Amino acid sequence: MKIEDDIKKLEKQMKKDKDYLWNNPEAGLKEFKTSTYIKNRLKEMGYTDINDNIYETGIIATIKGKEERPCILFRSDMDAVIMDSTGRTKHACGHNVHMTILLSLAKLIIDNKDKLKGTVKLLFEPDEEGSGGAYPMIKNGALENPKVDKAFAIHVWSELKEGTVGIKEGTIMASTDPFEIIITGKGGHAALPEKCVDTIYIANVIGKEVKEMANIAAKNDEKIILGITAIHSGETNNVIPNKAYLKGIFRTFNNSLREKVREELKKKIKEIARNLGGNAELNFTGNYPATVNSKEEAQEVRKIALGVADNIDEDYQTMSSEDFSYFLEKVPGAMILIGCQGEEYYPQHSENFNCGINPSLLGTQIFYDLVKKYLL
């Protein structure tokens, strides 16, 4: 990696920020200590335009140069992963690193404020792991006053080796559509199944048919994930239950295909239940569209990465999802993946996930080079 001296000088503070945030993880919309820490750090640097009333615990710090435009937005998520049913949280997806990178960028920008030609917005988003903070922040004006021209985000990524930058034109991360199905039938004695409408049987048929849909909905060169991931029904051996509850997930790289499959899924599930004498209602419980990098901005990141990273992967895609996709639906920009896989591999959201300091250095360098490209 080729890291500038100005960034290397921030390494000690990076470690402090990264460690504090690692040791104080907070769930989505409860990032109170996190939000206070970020605001205090920004104020220490000299930032005065700090909007902490944009959405829940979210923050936007704005700094203007000689002109209002262009306006470039850099985004970090804030929340930690909820690891189990007790509500225990951990930064098992690297969001503490993302905040560290954005705070380091904030320092570099304010130190060069007199050279700044346009505007920078530093956006800290809550609840990315939950219902998502991107959409409500956009709805509340995050891309306005001044109007944002380009948007960039970084995600440290355990599937890529440390020192590697993943930057792909077009779709880099999949959509996600979690769903729930409520099946209603007619319960009764297990000795009299002919008098009942068996909700568990309907659930089994739905599970099989949904899996078949995944095989036929997409073209050969496309990939979708569609399936049932949870089923809850019944309490005992000799009672057919009135209801069954299913949960599932649908993911795709193709936003057009996404809309088609969503509608087909609703119709198919209703039809199966009706044909077997019952009823089924499907509800999507959250959704992010696929994350699609714009061509020009992805190419610019690639040029920058060629000069600073050890390796570049221009083809990598992941079926994981990100609500930064909402920003990229509104303005051109790119999601940039920074490899964090060390000698031992631990995937995102695992108990042993961790991230060294090098991804913070590399991420800060790439963000700062984008500022220099567009604004200095």
Enumerate domains of the chain plus CATH numbers. 5-173+290-375 (3.40.630.10), 177-284 (3.30.70.360)
> Which residues in 115-132 are b (16+ Cβ under 10 Å) and which e?
ebebbbbbbbbbbbbeeb
Residue 74: closest CA among 373, 375, 371: 371
Residue 219 has what pLDDT? Answer: 62
CB 78 within 8 A of CB 35: yes
Give the per-residue pLDDT at 213.
Answer: 87
CA distance 245 to 222: 30
Q: What is the pLDDT of residue 170?
A: 97
Tokens of 159: 């599937």
| Number of other CB atoms surrounding residue 222 within 10 Å | 11
pLDDT(327) > 80: yes
Q: Give the pLDDT score at 44.
A: 98
Mean pLDDT across the chain: 96
How far is residue 206's CA from residue 276's CA, in Å, rounded to a whole number? Answer: 11
How confident is the model over 55-71, as a mean pLDDT?
Answer: 95
Instruction: List, for residues 258-306, the tens digit of each pLDDT value.
Output: 999 999 999 999 999 999 999 999 999 888 999 999 999 999 999 999 9
**Beta strand 89-90 pairing with 81-82:** antiparallel
- pLDDT at 222 (0 to 100): 76
> Tens digit of pLDDT for each residue in 173-228?
999 999 999 999 999 999 999 999 999 999 999 999 998 888 776 666 678 899 99
| pLDDT value for 215 | 77
pLDDT one-digit tens code per residue, 5-50 = 999 999 999 999 999 999 999 999 999 999 999 999 999 999 999 9
Residue-level pLDDT at 159: 97
Angle made by CA atoms 123, 127, 129, in degrees to the nearest 5: 115
Write out pLDDT tens, residues 333-366. Answer: 999 999 999 988 999 999 999 999 999 999 999 9
Over range 114-141, report the average pLDDT. 97
* Reported pTM: 0.94
Give the other-Cβ count within 10 Å of 165's Cβ: 28
Helices (H), the chain: 5-8, 11-23, 32-45, 95-111, 134-139, 199-216, 255-275, 295-308, 325-330, 358-375
Q: Name the one residue in this structure whose structure tokens are 């917005």.
A: 121
